[in-house]
Every structure is written in C-alpha cells, then in structure tokens.
Structure 1
Amino acid sequence: MIISTWGISLREMWEGFSACDLRFKDVALRLGGARVLRQDPFECLVQFLCSSNNNIGRITGMVDFISSLGVYLGSVEGFDFHEFPSLERLSLVSENEFRAAGFGYRAKYIVGTVKSLQSKPGGGAEWLASLRNLDLNEVVEALCTLPGVGPKVAACIALFSLDQHHAIPVDTHVWQIATRYLIPELANARLTPKLCIRVAEAFVSKFGKYAGWAQTVLFIAELPLQKALLQPTFESQKKKKSIRNKGESGFDEHSGGRECQTHNC
C-alpha cells in the first residue's frame, strides 16, 4: 500500500476520489504516481516567484541558477547537486544579478521578498513555518503581503508546503477543468475573483479536505505531454462507457459522472 508523508494511504484516497468523479478515475489509472510534496516553505515560495507568467523551461533554468548558489552536495552521473540556498545567502544576490541571469521583472520580487522575510519576527524561515498553524484564508492573506505573491501563488505555496491540503490555486487552466467537469453551467462566464472562490468551493465540495491533491492530479493530466499520453486511453474508455451506459438515465458527462453521495471522499 502506498503511504504518504503524513501516514495517509494514497491508494485509499485515490479510490475515494475515483468513486466521486469519473474524470479522476480515468486519470488516476495512468497517473497513480502523481502526489503532493511537502516542500520547505522558503524553497517553495522562491520557486513559485520564478513561475509567474513563465514556462517550465525557463522556470527550471531559474531554479537551477538559484540552487547553484547553495552548498555543493556532490555530483551524480554528471549532474551537480546543491542544497537550496538559505534566506541569508539569497540576501547577498542583487536585483541586477538576478536580471543578468534572465529573471526579468521577477528579480525585484525575489529581492523584495527576501528583504521582507528578513524583517519578520524570529526570522523569515520561522515566520513561514508558523503559517502551518493558521487557517487557509489567514495563510493566503499573510503570504500576499510579500512582493510578487498574489492569491494564486499563495494558494500554491499553501498547498505544497504549508499543509493546506484543500487549497486550490485557481488560474485559467484550473478554471477550464472546473467548468468542463465540475461546474459546466459557468463555462461561458469570465473568470473573476468571486468565481475563483466558487471554483475552489466546487473542488472541496467534490473531493473534501484533500481537494488540493485531487486538483493537482487533474491539472497534471491537462499538461500537453501528459494529455498526449493519456488521450488514447481516454478515447478507448469513452467508447466502452458509451456502450455500457447506453440507455441509462442520470449520467452527466459534463460533470464527470454521478455525484458522490457524501462528498466526503
């Protein structure tokens, strides 16, 4: 049985999610290894500052540059590994140095966030770790006081490093997933801050207190590379379901299947 960091059975969780949602069931058959990591909060924060309006290739390059500033750990098969640099180490890097490394406008956010964290009582690392003891709304509000951190980035940090398992980072991609499978009645609406809350509520209503984990798997399935790999399987399963469910009532393809009775997946 697959066990997560918190002693949670991922197999049981995935089975619960699959029972609630046919889309998740389809995806889970091929993405059973997708899961949420509990990152160091400072590392997670810096990485998501790099991700703002960016692509995976450039994000990887930026994170590699920052990592290279940390303590050298060794080399494996030609790849050098470093410890992620501390807050103090990053405070020695100027905005111009970051810009020269290709960070663009994100450079000022990283430098500004580092300075802001250094001014926190007890130090930035301690302040970030303390957010694990707060409610999600309080966590998002606190993180949004840092330069370059908005509600979506704050939700990402909360989910991946601050134990907020029901946090839903809503962007246009998650909006499309939600309107395709959870709230199709809003498919033609324009995403607004109010509807971002509606999307998050829809995920939590469907998947429960670990909704952020389910959302992550569904998000991964929409990435171009994964989508290309999954498409043949989905097409085959769709044909089988169409034959099996022919003549049945109560099946809603747009919502991903029948609603889970308890929503307590």
Structure 2
Amino acid sequence: MTEDPEPQENISGGAAGGGEAVAFEPGDADTRAEAVVDRLGDIYWQKAYGGRDGFECLVRTILSQNTSDVASQPAHDALMDRYGPDGEAGGDDLSESLAEADQQTLAETISSAGLYNQKSERIIALAERVCEAYGGADGFDEFVKTGDPDEVRETLLEMNGVGPKTADCVLLFSGGRGGVFPVDTHVHRIARRMGLAPADADHEGVREALEAAVPEGKCGFGHTAMIQFGREYCSARKPACLDDPEACPLAGLCDRVGVTPATGEVVDPAEAAAD
C-alpha cells in the first residue's frame, strides 16, 4: 500500500486532507454495508483520518458546500494565501485574521467557490464566535479533538451555516473520531440506490443507517471512497450499470433501486420506492 493512495482531487483527503494509510485484517463482513466499504477499500484506499486544524477544517468545509472540489480548492488556497499565517493579511491565528476581515475582500478572495457573499459572511461570523468562545483557533481545535463527540457535534450544529455533513467532516478530518460517516450528495444517493439505507431516507437517516452497519474504523474511508466511487461509477444520471450491470465493481452488492438497465430509466430511489 502506498503512503497516500488517495487522489489529490478529493478535497476530503489527499495530501491536503491528511490521514494515513491503514490496513484492516481480512475477514467476513457482518453487514452488506460493511462488505461494500471493504470492497471500496480494495478499489481505492483504506485510511485513518484526523489531525487537521479544527477551524481551518470548518472553513474548508464551508467553502465546499454546494460546489465541486475543483471550485472550492482554489478558494481555500486563496483564503490561506491571504489570511493564513504567511498571508498578506494573516497573523498567527486564522480565526483572528478572519474575524477582522473585510467581508467584501474575503468574498472576492473565495469567489471561485460560489455563493461567496453568503460564505464570506458565515466564515467571518464563525471566526468571531470561535475567538469569543474558545479564545481562538487553538482552543477550538482542542475542543474538537478532545471534547465529547456528541457535545462537539451539537455545538457545531448550533453554528450558522453548519449542517450535519459539515459537522461530521470536522469530527472526522480534524477530530479523527471513529464511527463518523459524513453524508454528502454522493453518499446519500449511493447508499439508497444500493439498498444500504431506506430509499426515502434523508441525509440523517442515511448517516444513521451507515454508522450502525459499518465498524467505527471503516467509516472514514468508507465516506471518502464512496465519494470517489460516485464520481467514477455511480453518477446521478448515468451509473455504470445502466449500459452494463457487470461494469460496476459493486454490482453483486447493489439493489439498483431506481435504476432500470432494461429501459435506461434512472430515478431517485425515493421515487422508485413510491411507485
């Protein structure tokens, strides 16, 4: 196994995302969801995450909301170039630099991420809260890494602009918390399409189903590998199985809810279940 087999383009990991390669002892999976994650690990990577700075992780995930990695990565890089420790407007503490940032200047800096006015306002407000409540980025980082996971998640969800996926990404990539399976649009689609979660489950329902069925240590790479699988094989409109069911490496583990190769029809799993 290479030192870091995860591709750079996945903002959830790669060199920018941190994490280290791990290997799990081979064995029989206890659930179909675990079997899926094991297979994804064979195709892509098995990694343990954690160690990223808590506040930077929060900012990075805010930037990634409702946009692609291709758009959010340059925005993150530009933000760090301006407000990070070595940036022209930066100081020793990223949260302090962003709390004092001019909103319009920050918006222009992160414009590649889309929704830049809204995101810049949220980032400044979050920075102000982190400075006030935790004394800065270091205090917030300690809270994320050592606080009770349920308390950390609840606190994050109370912050404006922080939803379940953002909170879970901070817990996983900064806190290194096992048993956290963040659910983005890829994971939400794939888990329901495969039958790993109820077809009509919302994001929280999918998260609960996956976290209950996948061992703690496998949830992190299950999340990032499933995202990559969604990009390469199980896209929203044209999954690989549509033309050839055997073209998908997970064909034998999938219920194909909402996908009908015989007719070429692809619908949301919830819509298929309602028929």
Instruction: Establish whether TM, by shorter chain, passes 0.5.
Output: yes
Letter in 2 for 1:149: V
Alpha-carbon distance in 1 for matches of 2:71, 2:103: 18
Matched, 1:116 2:129: yes
What per-residue deviation string (whole Å, max 9, x for no partner) do you get for residues 99-144 of structure 1?
Answer: 2232221010011111111111443421332232333321111112
Alpha-carbon distance in 1 for matches of 2:175, 2:249: 37
Contact residue 2 and residue 10 of structure 1 kept, 8 A? no
Alpha-carbon distance in 2 for matches of 1:142, 1:204: 20
Name which of 205, 208, 219 aligns with 1:201: 208
Q: Classify 1:55/1:83 alpha carbon distance in 2 versus 1 (closer, same or farther; 3 Å).
A: farther
Unaligned ranges ≥5, structure 1 = 74-81, 242-251, 256-265
Kindly report which structure 2 residues correspond to 1:93-172, keeping only aligned pairs within 5 A, or say none.
93-101=101-109, 102=111, 103-172=116-185
Contact residue 21 and residue 48 of structure 2 kept, 8 A? no
Alpha-carbon distance in 2 for matches of 1:83, 1:217: 35
Give the match's secondary structure for 2:23: helix
Matched, 1:212 2:220: yes
What per-residue deviation string (whole Å, max 9, x for no partner) do you get for residues 138-189 of structure 1?
Answer: 11111123332122211111111012221222233222222133535x22x2
Aligned length: 226
- Shift of residue 218 of structure 1? 1.7
Letter in 2 for 1:106: K
Letter in 2 for 1:88: E
Give the match's secondary structure for 2:133: coil
Structure with larger RCO (C-alpha < 8 A, sep 6+): 1
The structure with more radius of gyration: 1
Give the match's secondary structure for 2:214: helix
Matched, 1:254 2:255: yes
Alpha-carbon distance in 1 for matches of 2:245, 2:45: 14
Give the match's secondary structure for 2:100: coil
Contact residue 50 and residue 173 of structure 2 kept, 8 A? yes
Contact residue 43 and residue 84 of structure 1 kept, 8 A? no
Q: Classify 1:154/1:84 alpha carbon distance in 2 versus 1 (closer, same or farther; 3 Å).
A: farther
Report the RMSD for the aligned CA atoms in angstroms: 3.8
* Residue in 1 that maps onto 2:11: none
4+ aligned runs moved over 6 Å, structure 1: 1-4, 82-85, 225-228, 230-234
Letter in 1 for 2:178: H
* Residue in 2 that maps onto 1:12: 24
* Residue in 2 that maps onto 1:244: none
Q: Classify 1:9/1:160 alpha carbon distance in 2 versus 1 (closer, same or farther; 3 Å).
A: closer
Greater CA drift, 155-164 or 29-38: 29-38
What per-residue deviation string (whole Å, max 9, x for no partner) do you get for residues 51-84 of structure 1?
Answer: 12122222112101111123449xxxxxxxx999
Contact residue 17 and residue 207 of structure 1 kept, 8 A? no
- Shift of residue 22 of structure 1? 4.0
Alpha-carbon distance in 2 for matches of 1:9, 1:18: 20
TM (norm. structure 1) is 0.69
Q: Classify 1:201/1:157 alpha carbon distance in 2 versus 1 (closer, same or farther; 3 Å).
A: same
